[in-house]
Amino acid sequence: MTRYEPIIGLEVHCQLNTRSKLFSPCSFAFGDPPNTHTDPYVWAMPGTLPVLNGHAVSLAIRLALATHSRIEPISRFARKHYFYPDLPKGYQISQADQPYCTGGYVDLPETADQPSKRVRLIRIHLEEDAGKNTHVTGRDFSLVDYNRAGVPLCEIVSEPDLRSAAEAVAYLRELRTIVRYLGICEANMEEGSLRCDANVSLRRHGATELGTRCEIKNLNSFKFLEAAIEAEVRRQTDLVERGEPIRQCTLSFDPQRDRTRVMRSKEEAADYRYLPDPDLPPLQIDQAWIADEQAHLPELPGARRARYAGLGLSSYDVSVLTNEPALAEFFDATIELGSEPKSACNWITVELLGRLNADSKTPAQSPVSPRDMHDLLDLLKRGTISGRVGKDVFQKMYLEGRRAQEIVEQDGLGQISDANVLRDLVAAVLADHPDQVAEFRQGKTKVRGFFVGQIMRRSRGQANPSVVNTVLDELLASP
Amino acid sequence: MDHHAIRSLRARELAVLVQRGSVTAERVAAAFVERAEQTQTSCAAFQQLTAESALAAAREIDQRRRAGQPLGPLAGVPVGLKDNFVTRNITTTCGSRILSDWLPPYDSTHALRLRQADAVMIGKLAMDEFAMGSSNENTPFAAVRNPWALDHVPGGSSGGSAAAVAARGCALSLGSDTGGSIRQPASFCGLVGLKPTYGRVSRRGMIAFASSLDQAGPMTQDVRDAAIALGVLAGRDPDDATSLDAEVPDYVAACDRRVVGKKVGIDRATLDHDGLDPEVRRAFEASIDVLRGRGVEIVEVTLPHLDLGIPTYYALCMAESASNLARYDGVRYGWRAEADTLAQLYDQTRALGFGAEVKRRIMLGNFVLRAAQYREYYGQALRVRQLITRGYEQAFARCDAIASPTSPVPAFRLGERARDPVSMYLADIYTVGANLAGLPAISIPGGFSLARDRPPLPIGFQLVGARLEEPTLLAIAAAHEADTTWHLQSPPKGPA
């Protein structure tokens, strides 16, 4: 009896993988020792000034193009003030009422669980990341690491178009895929290069007014995102059904208790004292810049999905390939050499991907190249080897780095398709099993499978199955 | 050449002598260090004297000269830097307890360019804390005293910069000007003080007070010295996004340009100001007569909204400084209070580390930036600022420079205004306009105020120019200087 539907919007932060920070030439790398990626600007030393990293803007433009957003020709940076040790200047340089990008949308692909859906965006803006505060349990101090301070972020704010936790997760996944395709963000939630806050409210079915919304912060996995939204929907539904008001607040998610917890209420919300940053001129993005980025845009997930569907791949296969741009590139390279898409997809997503995952390798690190894969598929297509033998050949290709042709020749794995050769072999098998032959002649047709198994064993899997069938039928038919 | 003779030379004359080898840079440095040390007790102009490194740098310059290498335009010239210019490995306090021990790991663009010009830094100069003040009394350290009359203020916030040059502790100093902080102390101490067009000189390494108003500039004994210094400092800095990509002209040559036929505008309304000292007014009229005598045409102009200059200036600078000073929390550098909680750390470090005037302005600035107040104060101030800027543009269609007194009064006594911040703010009436409009402005010696109970006190004459028209300002200023002797006078000899 759910009379209320969840109304959800996400604020997603993507760390742009530029070589230096948003406003200083300082480097950045995740996981390095604390405070090894800092410079006087990052420390917010007196007298330092921000200088915009144009490459970050280029990446931001690519994102806006991928989301079909409007790129503002003029936008401004603004200072957002609050005091916290991980915020060196006592303010974050962000964008307030004049972001570089407004509007746009992300289309969620159709899957077995949900139909396709368009999620609209309100805006995207550029801002600096803060450092990281670590509270040392049981001690009376905290540690601050400024490696992350100043790293460029794009904050993507969606309209509250999402209607379920699952939809929210699907949206975040699609955003993740998009930014990885664009090559602008690693989008690794565990490492913090992709972060998400969720705004949740309830609306009575049929009503147009939105309810009071609450924000859940610091969700750093898809699992937690889903669980947190569901927990918050439960909390709000509970309040509403008891006739209690929902107070606007900020919450965190407690995964142990599967509950959201209020961090601070609206009254305690900070006044950020926004100030247009006087150290930075307005950001001007002209048509020429946009056209330049457009020209360098790779094929995006939506277009890729459509292309693969057109090749006849199943929607499951399409999603496996599309979710891993490097794998999709491997696939594209293989079919470009002439391989048939469905079998290429099969071998790549099952055999190859299986081994790469087991070895924690990326497609780029694969010992088998698209050319190698194509050669194997070609041998299979021409019937030089059987499917079963193919798996062995692939294993040797992967582990030993030998080429398919070599392996087949050197190890004598060629498929036996000569009907005369097979006739002798089949005849020998039938001769060795007179009782089963008699059973077959009496009508037990199932025995045929036994013969096939024996033939395959005796031929060490190299007998061409269809020729075997023909020959077997022939020999069984004659007296 | 004895030390006294060395000290009586202009900066450019010293550079020439050092370049020629007529006198060593080491001797020049020693002469000024001696004087700086002598006058430090009475004037307290220096926050820190760096005699050792100055002499070492001077010796190195002498080595290069002996090796036949060319020397820069300020070769061997002893300079002082206001203590808001960051200097690597030399304590930079910004006049505040909160930075009293801060050792910067980098150099400001200004320190670098002066060094490249082969100037020799004698020390860091005292200032009003975080450049907030007009008398150099806002300081946890010793108040600076005016060498012309030691119980009077030198002006502020570049009080030490002015006192040091006036007392000949250095030949040239660097100050910063946000609402008049170069020009007003220059006028109180009988010097030339130049605030360039906003963006003409980099702000990188100049500790920020109000980012859209701050500019660095030279304080010198005469116009040509200021021209040389500006030439060394000016030019695009890729590390300052607000620095201008404009060609740097020959400012020294500009000093020799003819001024016949040039027009200087006066807004008579500004002279009807209640607080304008009658002697200052008389001196101003005399300076106008000097310019007439040089063939300059005097025209009437109107600068509308200039009466709103002070509230506009203070709304903007307080808001920007509250923002710029948010970083001083003791977490990463500078002084940190003892504390048991994070909140205490912030509260105590800032409450105890900042002086009263700084705290006053931070609070007012944060008030102005509050969401509820933004439109009414900061937003409005931005709009009025545009009107003021346009007012200047319209005036400059009819003249080449606008003249006024620099300050409505000569230097006042120590303690006289310290208790009345608003009266202190109101004295900026003639200077803030140039900062609001981002225009170049120069204050030059324009006479003296005489009174029975005290020594003569210098009076400053100010010219404001159109954007990037420093050459015009320098030409007119040089013409005034050619027909006056104010700039040749020195304060009474220092005390024992």
Nearest CB to B333 within list A43, A274, A281: A43
- For residue A275, which residues of chain B lie inside 8 Å, CB to CB? 319-320, 323, 369, 378
Q: What does the alpha-carbon distance between residue A385 and residue A381 come to, in Å, rounded to a whole number?
A: 8
Is there a contact between A47 and B323 if contact means CB atoms under 8 Å apart? Answer: no
Q: How far is B365 from chain A (nearest CA, A)?
A: 10
Q: What does the alpha-carbon distance between residue B138 and residue B144 come to, in Å, rounded to a whole number?
A: 10
Single out the residue of B94, B79, B93 nearest to residue B232, CA to CA.
Answer: B79
Q: How far is A156 from chain B (nearest CA, A)?
A: 24
CATH architecture label of A419-477? Orthogonal Bundle (1.10)
Q: Is A120 helix (H, G, I), strand (E, B) or coil?
A: strand
Q: What is the pLDDT of residue A389?
A: 82
Lowest mean pLDDT: which of A118-127, A265-274, B301-310, B363-372? A265-274
Lowest mean pLDDT: which of A119-123, A455-459, B334-338, B446-450? A455-459
Which tokens sit at A50?
């921000």
For the segment B197-234, what is each residue's pLDDT rounded down to a tens digit? 999 999 999 999 999 999 999 999 999 999 999 999 99
Q: Which residues of B233-250 are buried (b: 16+ CB within 10 A; e: fewer)?
A: bbbebebbbbbbeeeeee
Instruction: Give ipTM to 2 decimals.
Output: 0.95
- pTM confidence score: 0.89
Helical residues (DSSP H) of B88-198, grouped into ranges: 109-116, 159-166, 183-188
The yes-or-no verdict on residue B8 having pLDDT over 70 is: yes
For the segment B124-182, what is each residue's pLDDT rounded down to a tens digit? 999 999 999 999 999 999 999 999 999 999 999 999 999 999 999 999 999 999 999 99
Of chain B, the percentage scoring pLDDT greater than 70 comes to 99
Q: What does the alpha-carbon distance between residue A215 and residue A233 come to, in Å, rounded to a whole number?
A: 12
Nearest CB to A271 within list B104, B322, B370: B370
Q: How far is B362 from chain A (nearest CA, A)?
A: 13
Look at A389 and B336; give whichever has higher pLDDT: B336
Look at A401 and B205; give whichever has higher pLDDT: B205
Nearest CB to B329 within list A83, A271, A280: A83
Q: What is the pLDDT of residue A90?
A: 97
Q: What is the pLDDT of residue B417?
A: 82
For the segment B21-47, what is each residue's pLDDT rounded down to a tens digit? 999 999 999 999 999 999 999 999 999
Single out the residue of B486, B424, B415 nearest to residue B456, CA to CA.
Answer: B486
Q: What does the alpha-carbon distance between residue A175 and residue A12 come to, in Å, rounded to a whole number?
A: 9
Every domain of chain A with CATH number 1.10.10.410 lies at 419-477
**A249-254/B120-125 β-pairing:** unpaired
Highest mean pLDDT among A215-224, B209-218, B452-461, B486-495 belongs to: B209-218
The yes-or-no verdict on residue B426 having pLDDT over 80 is: no
For the segment B241-268, what is each residue's pLDDT rounded down to a tens digit? 999 999 999 999 999 999 999 999 999 9
Is there a contact between A47 and B108 if contact means CB atoms under 8 Å apart? Answer: yes
The yes-or-no verdict on residue A267 having pLDDT over 90 is: no
Interface mutation target, options B324, B350, B373, B436, chain A, most CBs of A under 10 Å: B324
Q: How far is A191 from chain B (nearest CA, A)?
A: 25
Q: What is the pLDDT of residue A2?
A: 58
> What is the Cα A115 distance to its own chain's centre?
19
CB proximity list for B291: less than 8 A, separation 6 or greater? B259, B264, B298, B403, B476, B479, B480
Is there a contact between B204 and A50 if contact means CB atoms under 8 Å apart? Answer: no
Q: What does the alpha-carbon distance between residue B156 and residue B411 come to, in Å, rounded to a whole number?
A: 10
* pLDDT, chain A, mean: 91
The residue whose two tokens read 């800027």 is B389
The yes-or-no verdict on residue A425 having pLDDT over 90 is: no
Q: Where in the sequence numbering do the catalytic residues of B fall?
A: 82, 157, 181
Res. A210 pLDDT band, cuts 50 70 90:
confident
Q: What does the alpha-carbon distance between residue B85 and residue B176 come to, in Å, rounded to a whole number?
A: 9
Continuous segment of H or E residues that includes residue B64: helix B51-66
The yes-or-no verdict on residue B422 having pLDDT over 90 is: no
Which tokens sit at B239?
């590390």
Is there a contact between A280 and B241 if contact means CB atoms under 8 Å apart? Answer: yes
The yes-or-no verdict on residue A1 having pLDDT over 70 is: no
For the segment A121-171, what is each residue's pLDDT rounded down to a tens digit? 999 999 999 999 998 888 888 999 999 999 999 999 999 999 999 999 999
Identify the contact set of chain A against chain B, taking CB-CB distances under 8 A.
40, 43-52, 79, 81, 83, 85, 88-91, 140, 142, 144, 271-275, 278-281
Q: What is the pLDDT of residue A315?
A: 84
Q: What does the alpha-carbon distance between residue A34 and residue B453 come to, in Å, rounded to a whole number?
A: 63
- Give the full edge-to-edge strand order of the sheet including B46-49: B46-49, B120-125, B78-82, B172-177, B215-220, B192-195, B441-451, B454-465, B401-405, B263-266, B297-300
Continuous segment of H or E residues that includes residue A239: helix A222-241
- For residue A47, which residues of chain B lie inside 8 Å, CB to CB? 84-86, 104, 108, 204-208
Q: What are the phi and psi torsion angles at B50 (to 5°)?
A: -115, 60
Q: Is B400 helix (H, G, I), strand (E, B) or coil?
A: coil
For the segment B37-89, what is each residue's pLDDT rounded down to a tens digit? 999 999 999 999 999 999 999 999 999 999 999 999 999 999 999 999 999 99
Res. B495 pLDDT band, cuts 50 70 90:
very low
For the segment A13-52, what is each residue's pLDDT rounded down to a tens digit? 999 999 999 999 999 999 999 999 999 999 999 999 999 9
Output the furthest CA–CA distance in chain A (Å, rounded). Answer: 101
Continuous segment of H or E residues that includes residue B176: strand B172-177
- For residue B331, which residues of chain A lie inside 8 Å, CB to CB? 85, 144
What amino acid is encoded at A126 in this protein? Answer: L
Q: What does the alpha-carbon distance between residue B240 and residue A49 come to, in Å, rounded to a whole number?
A: 6
CB proximity list for B278: less than 8 A, separation 6 or greater? none
Answer positive or negative: Cα dihedral of A108, A113, A114, A120.
negative
- For residue B108, which residues of chain A lie inside 8 Å, CB to CB? 47
Is there a contact between B239 and A49 if contact means CB atoms under 8 Å apart? Answer: yes
Res. A439 pLDDT band, cuts 50 70 90:
confident
Contact A277, A93 (CB under 8 A): yes
Is there a contact between A45 and B205 if contact means CB atoms under 8 Å apart? Answer: no
Is there a contact between B323 and A275 if contact means CB atoms under 8 Å apart? Answer: yes
| Domain residue extents for chain B | 3-304+384-418+435-488, 311-378
Look at A302 and B248; give whichever has higher pLDDT: B248
Which tokens sit at B93?
């306090």
Q: What are the phi and psi torsion angles at A44 (to 5°)?
A: 60, 40
Q: How far is B318 from chain A (nearest CA, A)?
A: 12
The residue whose two tokens read 């390494």 is B205
Q: What does the alpha-carbon distance between residue A397 and residue A395 come to, in Å, rounded to a whole number?
A: 5
Is there a contact between B208 and A47 if contact means CB atoms under 8 Å apart? Answer: yes
- For residue A142, which residues of chain B lie inside 8 Å, CB to CB? 342
- For residue B241, which residues of chain A lie inside 8 Å, CB to CB? 49-52, 279-281
Nearest CB to A49 within list B105, B240, B374: B240
Q: What is the pLDDT of residue A436?
A: 87
Res. A447 pLDDT band, cuts 50 70 90:
confident
Is there a contact between B323 and A79 if contact means CB atoms under 8 Å apart? Answer: yes
Q: What is the pLDDT of residue B193?
A: 98
Res. A182 pLDDT band, cuts 50 70 90:
very high
Q: What does the alpha-carbon distance between residue B83 and residue A381 come to, in Å, rounded to a whole number?
A: 80
Q: What is the pLDDT of residue B371?
A: 84
**Any bridge partners for residue A129, and if so which?**
none
The yes-or-no verdict on residue A222 having pLDDT over 50 is: yes
Contact A122, A161 (CB under 8 A): no
CATH architecture label of B3-304+384-418+435-488? Alpha-Beta Complex (3.90)
* pLDDT, chain B, mean: 95
The yes-or-no verdict on residue B496 having pLDDT over 60 is: no
Res. A470 pLDDT band, cuts 50 70 90:
confident
Nearest CB to B207 within list A47, A272, A279: A47
Nearest CB to A49 within list B241, B327, B329: B241
